[in-house]
Every structure is written in structure tokens, then in C-alpha cells.
Structure 1
């Protein structure tokens, strides 16, 4: 069976925009495309970065969902950390096919924060403490592999 198209010679981009209902949203004065699909490897990357509040890690996730330069434009527009988490939550829901409102995304961020699962940005002392070694001794992997053998005297 042959697939039927409306124009006959449409491009993939035009077809996908029609099928996925491409739309835009203005967030902090920046018009962005509403995410329509989760990029490959995105969910794993979110898991890997879930405890990070480093600017470049958040920028990586925002870029994957909303495109290049969006993170910097939002930062320049004065967007704060919890706003970014809210927009990221909203964008992830949209990309996975859930039509979540901004209010619902904000509520989800607040709930995660109250459960201690949303990480607030660490202050200077906390960042320094994270980079310091604990100073504790390491444990041997196996006594058999690290023990020395006794040599018998020839006497």
C-alpha cells in the first residue's frame, strides 16, 4: 500500500510539523518551539545530571529540548533557577506527549523540592566541600591478592 500525502512532494520537515502539531510558546520574551519528541539519550542524561546544578549541565538539557542559544537568552532575560526547572519539567512533559500546563509543571517542581529531590543550587561553601577529598584510607580489594607470602629459610 502506498502512503498518501496531501501535497505529493512535501518534505520530511513539513510532514513532521503537520503530524506533530508544531507550535511555539513565548517564555521570558523568547519564542521557542514546544518540544515534540524526546531526543535520543535525553532521559539517561537527565538521570546522570539529576544531582547537578552546574550551569553547563542545565544548559545542555535546555539546549537538547529547546535549541541552541535559548538557555543564554533566558539567563540574559533574568530567568531564575526554579523557573528553569519549571520550564524544563514542562518541556519534558510536552516532549513525551503530556500536555502539562506551566502551573502543573511548577507544582511538580515544588513537590520534588519539598521531598528533597529537587536540588537547589549549592552555595560556595557546599561547592568547595564537594571537591575536597575525604582523606579516609582505602580498603584493600582482596587480602589474598595484596598479602605477601612468607619465604622459608633454607636452614
Structure 2
């Protein structure tokens, strides 16, 4: 059999069958967690739909697109159940960050925790707030150094 014939035969095979075999070889553990009344699988891959929606939004967090991202990560109807069970904007941000972080992690055997995701959200919000802050020292140490210098100059030192 020539290389071309082998290639053609491989291409005739079902991609879904190939992918199932490929995933089995990778042996990615499928952990399940309980979130606001729903059992969900911890994401280990980022659905392309989520990436496309994230790029299209780029700062425009529309409820419909955010809902689509959440459902692409965790499944249909998850959003409505979570809302009925007390989903808040802070919880939503943490769950979306948690899902995306787990889907994109390099080491698939160690999931990102909810606490780590909440810290990532806090860090992202702080960074965004810094971007909106008036011009001046960008970190606390620099601000402190600047205030000490001004205090020394005022005292005549």
C-alpha cells in the first residue's frame, strides 16, 4: 500500500471515532462537581464556541453571549437552574473563570479550585480598576515612596 492509499483510507475513517480513541489515549480524568444544584463535568477542553464568543465580546459582556459561553462550558439549561438556585453576578464571574481556567490548564490532572478562580476574578477586576485609575504611581510601593519623598521635601530634608 502506498502512502497516498494509506492516507486516503485514514481520511475515510470517521473523525468522531478517531477523536474518541485519541481522548482515550490521553486519559484525561472526568471529575464531576456539584454547583448550585447541578452536577457538571469539570471542563478539560475549551469549546471553540467559547473562544469565539470571548473574542467577539472583547469588553462587551452582553447577557446573551455570557449565557452562551456558560452553556457551552457546562451544558444546556445550566444557566436557568443556577439562576433559580441563587446565581449572583459574583458567582457567575467565578464560575465562568473556573470553567475557562480548567478548560485551558496545561496539567489536566490538577483542576483549578473555586478559590483560585475567585482570586483570578479579583485580580482581573483589580487590574481593570488600575487601568481606569487616574495617572500616577502604578503600585503601592511606588505611591508610598512618592509620599515619603514629598513628606521629606516638605520637612526641608
Find out whether 1:115 has 2:127 as its counterpart: yes
Give the structure with higher Rg (CA).
1
| 1:22 aligns with one of 20, 26, 30 | 30
Distance of 1:61 and 1:45 partners within structure 2:
7
Alpha-carbon offset, residue 80 of structure 1: 0.6
3-state DSSP of counterpart to 2:53: helix
Query: What is the number of equivalent residue pairs in this alignment?
Result: 106
Where structure 2 has 5 or more consecutive residues not aligned to the other structure, the ranges are 1-18, 130-157
- Structure with more of its chain in helix, by fraction: 2
Aligned to 2:88: 80
Q: Give the C-alpha shift of residue 16 in structure 1.
A: 4.1
RMSD, aligned CA: 2.4
Q: How far off its partner does 1:111 sit?
A: 1.3
CA distance in 1, matches of 2:58, 2:31: 28
In structure 1, stretches of 5+ residues that fail to align are 1-10, 118-155
Instruction: Answer yes or no: is 1:95 the counterpart of 2:107.
Output: no
C-alpha displacement at 1:17, in angstroms?
10
Structure 1 runs of 4+ with >6 Å offset: none
| TM-score of the aligned structures, taking structure 1 as reference length | 0.60
